[in-house]
Structure 1
């Protein structure tokens, strides 16, 4: 294959190479158990199957191009990619071609950089700072963060809340007009700390609908008996398990009407799966 052929096929090489890199990274994340840090588990099988198909398909495409079967009219195209150089009596590359080559090279560098980063750097979860930036304490809660079915109202003692997570309680509190039925309900929930004021903090989890890009933070306010000891509140981003009871928010000006009155706050390690779905 001539140099002009290689140049004309550069976009195809870059495109197929990018697909191959992303597919390999996806399979690697699935192999080491980190894929759930990026996408909702319900899409894991579908994503893995697509990646498994993409690897041989992209390799086959690269082989076809390398053998020259993907080249069409490259020489004719090259005639239009050069401008005459009247000063030296020879042709020089056209400006459009130079721009495409530069952009292709930059894209290749970015692709390789992202691939190496995913393989070398350890995956990280979304942080408490991100939760603050995305308004974790907002009074609104999108349908994407609610349960698949409506969360059961708690007017009946027969309702089992043992499997409720931060997302479920946050959705229930915001959807219930009369929150008096919630007061006194015992909870034991885990999440990370977004600090508040006067011995309070927000117990927070990220909820993923599709992937980490659309992750929405949800949280429940937690009040402790450490109002005069702010140093007793766990550090920002620390994962904790809070045991206590739901209570009316002592801060009447706050949007959240219900908070957790903590009886015990225990620091824990970040769980293997830090998100809710």
Structure 2
């Protein structure tokens, strides 16, 4: 088997090795949580540790096997086995004209077959090389370029602040919020967003003080959505959750929006929950902001 025939094996094992090395590097520098839920970190790292030597050993086995397998019509030196039609016993010609014609016809059939086989090998080589370049490029990019988090544009594409956000799970039942013993100081955007959408009576929420961190998804006028991504398994399934925030006079529908930070800016919002001044909105509760402070993106930008 030629090296081009082994291209799929090289590519597959090389891809496994590359992904495993990148996974271990992300874990070592503390960036693995930007791609998967932390509860899967140990499992993922163990698999990567096993995959590195296994894929490396597989590459060695494939490389050592080069040149020891042959096609059905070729010997180990690339020569095609053909019956000797030129000579009989003693090396004297004895074939009939008919036999010579059959031999010439057979050779004529073999030539196109060899051309097609060469074309297939060339195609496999080109595709394998292209795939290998893509794999190497992605690996180098992961090792060299700084990791990035999901953006405000992605949140808008995935319908942030929509009714589907009720899938987020809150930490407490809304009915308990009126109890003096309920501590909501550790509630995040996900928890408040879930509570807002999981109750038909939001009166227990009005007036609750909040201090929340998230990034800005612009809204109308002097309003925006304070947003976080919630990861269940990995960044691919990340769901944006958000709470409406009103600034200025709190109308949420007018004004120039000069008090609204730039899209994607991380902010810390301090204020109180209030009835949504926009009756057409899905969410009936918003944060009436007393203070909106620009901050750097936190080390762990996701909620879980």
Q: Specify the alignment match of 1:141 in structure 2.
A: 165
Change (3 A) 1:199 1:64: same
Secondary structure class of the residue paired with 1:60: helix
Which one of 207, 211, 215 corresponds to residue 192 of structure 1?
A: 215
Separation of aligned partners in 1, 2:73 and 2:281: 66
Q: Does 1:124 align with 2:148?
A: yes
Residue by residue, what CA displacement relative to the aligned partner does 1:125-160 show, whole Å, maximum 9, x if unpaired?
1111111111102122253x325xx63322423211
Change (3 A) 1:191 1:71: farther
Q: Specify the alignment match of 1:100 in structure 2.
A: 124
Q: Name structure 1 gaps, 5 residues minimum.
A: none
Q: Specify the alignment match of 1:257 in structure 2.
A: 284
**TM-score normalised per structure 1:** 0.88
Would the aligned equivalents of 2:158 and 2:240 in 1 still touch at CA under 8 Å? yes
Change (3 A) 1:85 1:254: farther
Separation of aligned partners in 1, 2:289 and 2:29: 36
**TM-score normalised per structure 2:** 0.81
Change (3 A) 1:212 1:85: farther
Q: Specify the alignment match of 1:12 in structure 2.
A: 9
Q: Specify the alignment match of 1:76 in structure 2.
A: 72
Separation of aligned partners in 2, 1:212 and 1:101: 34
Deviates more, 1:59-68 or 1:49-58: 59-68
Q: Specify the alignment match of 2:34 in structure 1.
A: 37
Which one of 213, 230, 245 corresponds to residue 207 of structure 1?
A: 230
Change (3 A) 1:194 1:77: farther
Q: Specify the alignment match of 1:152 in structure 2.
A: 173
Would the aligned equivalents of 1:242 and 1:264 in 2 still touch at CA under 8 Å? yes
Secondary structure class of the residue paired with 2:302: coil
If you compute each CA radius of gyration, which structure gives the higher value, 1 or 2? 2
What is the correspondence of 1:194-273 to structure 2 with a 5 Å cutoff?
194-225=217-248, 228-273=255-300
Residue by residue, what CA displacement relative to the aligned partner does 1:204-255 show, whole Å, maximum 9, x if unpaired?
0011111111111000000112663522211111100000000000011111
Deviates more, 1:252-261 or 1:227-236: 227-236
What is the RMSD of the two structures over their aligned residues, measured on CA atoms? 2.5
Change (3 A) 1:246 1:77: farther
Change (3 A) 1:40 1:86: same
Separation of aligned partners in 2, 1:9 and 1:93: 18
Would the aligned equivalents of 2:276 and 2:284 in 1 still touch at CA under 8 Å? yes
Q: Does 1:177 align with 2:204?
A: no
Separation of aligned partners in 2, 1:104 and 1:258: 55
Separation of aligned partners in 2, 1:159 and 1:99: 67
> 4+ residue runs of structure 1 moved beyond 6 angstroms?
none
Q: Name structure 2 gaps, 5 residues minimum.
A: 81-105
Separation of aligned partners in 2, 1:39 and 1:178: 35
Give the length in aligned residue pairs: 267
